[in-house]
Structure 1
């Protein structure tokens, strides 16, 4: 049984309604958590690319990336958990793991299942919640991985986003 059903969450995956790039975060993180993400990416079999200032580079230890000066070039880690879906981790701060995904790549039940599997994998590895929010409203995620339930759940009042409910 999937964590979420497309008919229940389709509006949360609508790029016109929600914007194309929701914000995904693991708040209360550390350099050790970032390193766990790096290790997960290396061991997962996913395609990935680490870039600094838009130039591909070897993936260093997380502590090295996070200790760069504030005016250093932007560093990101681009991960493809499945072909056609790219997750971009932004290495800005040790205390929050911040990443984006393009909703246009996550349409239909397959897209929902792909996102849920990815959030579950990251959340399980870290033992922490992973939230998805819109418009920089990190304090109020609309859905996310709940480690206590070990599943991805909708975290908002469905009426807030005019969710489509299954017919029947």
Structure 2
């Protein structure tokens, strides 16, 4: 469960929700994913106060999260988002893409593993 391990190791505040109620995350990602069929499973993470990422768990290879862009006004908040994407990408050794809702094939920006940084992807 690399995601939960990452959240804990970074000291980010989080709330695990199952079927709308807060609780302790299951011991394994498989247990967490099996609960998904019984009720909604979310992991709400605050990398810094005032910036919330809500993770939706679909399967071990596909984890999505939403951020409220209204919380990301100004360079300082954009830097928080870029550090967040970079931290996740480095730990998972995978690209982390940010797309408009409903347009998964049109990333706007994301963590590029080879470049080891967040890059602008719009217009590529």
Q: State the TM-score, normalized to the length of structure 2.
A: 0.93
Q: Report matched runs for 1:1-168 at 5 Å.
A: 35-60=1-26, 61-68=28-35, 70=37, 72-157=38-123
Equivalent residues of 1:131, 1:141 under 8 A apart: yes
Q: CA shift at 1:59, angstroms?
A: 1.1
Tell me: higher relative CO, structure 1 or 2? Use CA pairs within 8 A at least 6 residues apart: 1
Matched length: 123
- Quick one: structure 1 residues 69 and 42, their matched pair in 2 at CA, closer, same or farther if it must change by over 3 Å? closer
What's the Cα RMSD here? Answer: 1.4
Structure 1, unmatched stretches of 5+, are: 1-34, 159-168
Q: CA shift at 1:67, angstroms?
A: 2.3
Structure 1 residue ranges (4+ consecutive) displaced by more than 4 angstroms after TM superposition? none
Q: Distance in 1 between matches of 2:101 and 2:53?
A: 17
* CA offset digits 1:58-99 (Å, max 9, x no partner): 0112110112363x1101000100010011101222231110
Larger radius of gyration: 1
Equivalent residues of 1:85, 1:105 under 8 A apart: yes
Question: Which structure has more strand as a fraction of its residues?
Answer: 2
Structure 2, unmatched stretches of 5+, are: none
Q: Distance in 2 between matches of 1:157 and 1:42?
A: 36
Q: Distance in 2 between matches of 1:144 and 1:90?
A: 18
Q: Distance in 2 between matches of 1:69 and 1:102?
A: 23
